[in-house]
Structure 1
Amino acid sequence: MTDTAAPAAPAVSTISMPLGMFVFTLLYGGMTVLAGVLAFKQVQLWPTSLAVESGIFPFLMLVVISSTLSQLYGRDAAKRIVWWGFFPLGLSALLMQLVLGLPASSEMLAFRPDDLAAFERVHQSTWRVWMAGPASYITSLLLNIWIFDRLRGQGEEGAIGLMVRGAIASALSQAVDSVIFITLAFYGEFDITDLMIGQVLAKVFLSVVLVPFLITFGVKAALWLDAKKA
């Protein structure tokens, strides 16, 4: 009687990803979708007449995340995340068109017609926002990563150097983003002067005052997550 050895189980290939990169990548995908939705509303910069579109808030988080990934995992890794950010952005746009095309329930038509009208009015009006978003998104975020990486010095870098790099890269890239996005999304619908000025000033201000601290926190949080996994 001949013993027949059982075939060896195929080797399972595992892809190792730092936990910090994994968590920040998930956050990045969510922020790309949220930025397009919130951009429909313009918020007044009190006490002036200037305004800013609300997509600025998740978009600043995209800047923070991309800078954090570039700092810890390299420019190429950060650029890949930016390019892959098109996937949730495009998929969410397609799903939105699907939902808008599907008939509403009889209950909603009968008892909540105002809610339905508001939903359709907002989301059917955002097609220019959805088109403008990718153009400004890819230009400004790749520019942010490039500037942030180019400003990296030789050897060890302290927290102050990290914050200065983050502030400069964010301010310049966000100014470019504002010009591209506001022009493509709203030009011709109303006078965009106040919105353009408010957007640029707000993004530059937040880039200098807030973003450096968020990047520093993001780097520490990612390092803590990586150590936790280990």
Structure 2
Amino acid sequence: MNAHHIPRIEGSAGARRHFRYFDYLMAAFVAILLLSNLIGAAKLTTVGGYTFGAGILFFPVSYVLGDVLTEVYGYAHARRCVWVGFFALLFMAFMSFVVVAMPPSAGWGCASSGDPRFAEIVAKTSAGAVCQTTYDSVFGSTWRIVIASVTAFWAGEFVNSFVLARMKVWTGGKYLFTRTWGSTIFGQAVDSALFYPIAFLGTWATTDVIHVMWTNWALKVIWEIVLTPVTYAVVGFLKRQEGVDVFDTDIDFSPFASTEDA
């Protein structure tokens, strides 16, 4: 099917339509979101003299998928994915809190307890005590970081989807790169402007908060630009497979609207 002859449907019709690949995209979106927060957020790395959170390498992929979801399936389907991701993040935070808070078994062994460098500490305490410390450093988060992460994701993703959906209507579906870049610029700006002050203001120096907020926003936008060819390829494939092109001209953009409200 030629991309220029894919039938156009309105957002309300798209909201009620069953799509072949939507569930796979939503699963990938939520998986990358959780893994980038769980695995990448806990590690700082230094490359070429620049120090940054390792999660930034993969977290922006969730924004790219958010762009694809909105572009291909419309704002209503993207809204569903944001809410699924939001509640998944909440559950992950709750589960991490409960598991980390549980007392460790004295005989619990891990890489740290078996490391000769920690042998003296293990002898004075227990293998489980050493493992608990390393476990907490990876999976434990302060309440501020949890609130910051969940709030920033929720607001940033909705801004991202809203801007892309509106720009798609304004551009008549042309110039995909303008709306993927534009939506990321605004969505990631909201994400960064919420996350870093909520998580670190008062703990870090204000200048450091501003510096990290700015540089991480810039890196995320650059990632979006670099991945533009991939976005074009995925969007083109999915539109051809689904057989329709969704335009949100009649959709309710409230984050709290139901599918019936469209």
TM-score after normalising by structure 2: 0.68
**1:39–1:55: 8 Å Cα contact kept in structure 2?**
yes
Alpha-carbon distance, 1:193 to partner: 3.7
Aligned pair partner of 2:223 in 206, 211, 229: 206
Name the residue aligned to 1:3: none
Mapping of residues 182-201 of structure 1, within 5 Å = 182-191=196-205, 192-201=209-218
Name the residue aligned to 1:41: 43
**1:179 equivalenced with 2:193 (yes/no):** yes
Alpha-carbon distance, 1:139 to partner: 1.1
Mapping of residues 101-140 of structure 1, within 5 Å = 101-108=101-108, 110-111=126-127, 113-140=129-156
Mapped partners of 1:222, 1:99: distance in 2: 39
Alpha-carbon distance, 1:113 to partner: 4.1
Mapped partners of 1:32, 1:126: distance in 2: 19
Alpha-carbon distance, 1:149 to partner: 1.0
Mapped partners of 1:163, 1:180: distance in 2: 25
Query: SS at the partner of 1:19?
Result: coil
**1:36–1:130: 8 Å Cα contact kept in structure 2?**
no
Name the residue aligned to 2:8: none
Alpha-carbon distance, 1:89 to partner: 0.9
Mapped partners of 2:182, 2:170: distance in 1: 18
Q: Deviations over 1:180-226 (max 9, x none)?
A: 1111112222232432232122122223333x233223324545775
**2:79–2:158: 8 Å Cα contact kept in structure 1?**
yes
Go from structure 1 to structure 2 and tell me whether the alpha carbon gap of 1:17 and 1:113 turns closer, same or farther (over 3 Å shift). Answer: farther
- Runs of 5+ consecutive residues of structure 2 not aligned to the other structure: 1-15, 110-125, 244-262
Name the residue aligned to 1:10: none
Mapped partners of 1:180, 1:155: distance in 2: 29
What letter corresponds to residue 187 of structure 2 in structure 1?
S
- Runs of 5+ consecutive residues of structure 1 not aligned to the other structure: 1-14
TM-score after normalising by structure 1: 0.77
**1:72–1:219: 8 Å Cα contact kept in structure 2?**
yes
**2:64–2:224: 8 Å Cα contact kept in structure 1?**
no
Name the residue aligned to 1:95: 95
**2:67–2:180: 8 Å Cα contact kept in structure 1?**
yes
What letter corresponds to residue 27 of structure 1 in structure 2?
A
After superposition, the CA RMSD in angstroms is: 2.7
> How many residues are aligned here?
208
Go from structure 1 to structure 2 and tell me whether the alpha carbon gap of 1:152 and 1:16 turns closer, same or farther (over 3 Å shift). Answer: closer
Q: Deviations over 1:62-107 (max 9, x none)?
A: 2111211111111111112112212211111111122112222332
Go from structure 1 to structure 2 and tell me whether the alpha carbon gap of 1:118 and 1:224 turns closer, same or farther (over 3 Å shift). Answer: farther
Moved more, 30-39 or 67-76: 30-39
Q: Deviations over 1:33-66 (max 9, x none)?
A: 2233222334446345xx4433333431221112
What letter corresponds to residue 31 of structure 1 in structure 2?
I
Name the residue aligned to 1:70: 70
Go from structure 1 to structure 2 and tell me whether the alpha carbon gap of 1:100 and 1:150 turns closer, same or farther (over 3 Å shift). Answer: same
Go from structure 1 to structure 2 and tell me whether the alpha carbon gap of 1:126 and 1:30 turns closer, same or farther (over 3 Å shift). Answer: farther
**1:20–1:221: 8 Å Cα contact kept in structure 2?**
no
Bigger relative CO (Cα 8 Å, ≥ 6 apart): 2
Go from structure 1 to structure 2 and tell me whether the alpha carbon gap of 1:155 and 1:32 turns closer, same or farther (over 3 Å shift). Answer: closer
